[in-house]
Amino acid sequence: MARFLIVEARFYEHLNDMLIAGAREALENAGHQVEILTVPGALEVPGAIASAAESGRYEGFVALGVVIRGETFHFEIVAGESARGIMALTMDGLAVGNGILTVENEAQAIVRADPAQLNKGAGAAEAALALLAIREKFA
């Protein structure tokens, strides 16, 4: 049994609740423990994961959140930099599933977040599980 930390950017609560439900179910069904840490936004997710990883308390991580395109360039910065930070963590050997949705509108986010539809929270958890298995294979 491994310990996983879900780090969620709590900006759209109703969407995050769906993402968390999917991720939690996937991890718990696989027999793992789950904790949740909330950060203000997607840009804070990689830093929070890096800090948690230093503690040695977790074997894997799931990054969750929703970034919806707005009227300014801010969307591109938040979407790109949060993904870059998460990718850097995985390249450093952490098992991180990226479930930060980057969408045009709320309707797209609902379809992707809803466990009864695309269930991207579970998909991110499954990615973290796969990366953990790969890490353990080569340890």
In the beta sheet, which residues pair with residue 103? 68
Could you confirm whether 74 is annotated as catalytic?
Answer: yes
Task: Give the residue ranges of the annotated binding site for (2S)-2-hydroxy-3-oxobutyl phosphate.
Answer: 71-72, 112
Domain positions in the chain are 3-137
pLDDT tens digit sequence for 62-110: 999 999 998 888 999 999 999 999 999 999 999 999 999 999 999 999 9
From 3, 14, 57, 74, the catalytic residue: 74
CB atoms within 10 A of CB 41: 13
Q: Among residues of the chain, what percentage have pLDDT more than 90?
A: 95
Q: Using alpha carbons, select from 42, 33, 58 the residue that is nearest to residue 131.
A: 58
Pair 53, 59: CB distance under 8 Å: no
The count of C-alpha atoms lying within 13 angstroms of the C-alpha of 79, restricted to the half-sphere facing its C-beta, is 14
Q: Which of 50-54, 57-61, 75-79, 128-132 has the lowest mean pLDDT?
A: 75-79
**Average pLDDT value for residue range 116-136:** 98
CB neighbours of residue 92 within 10 Å: 10
Q: What is the per-residue pLDDT for 114?
A: 98
CATH superfamily for domain 3-137: Lumazine/riboflavin synthase (3.40.50.960)
Tokens of 138: 């080569």
Measure the CA angle with vertex 109, ends 103 and 111; round to 5°.
125
**Helix (H), strand (E) counts: the chain:** 5, 4
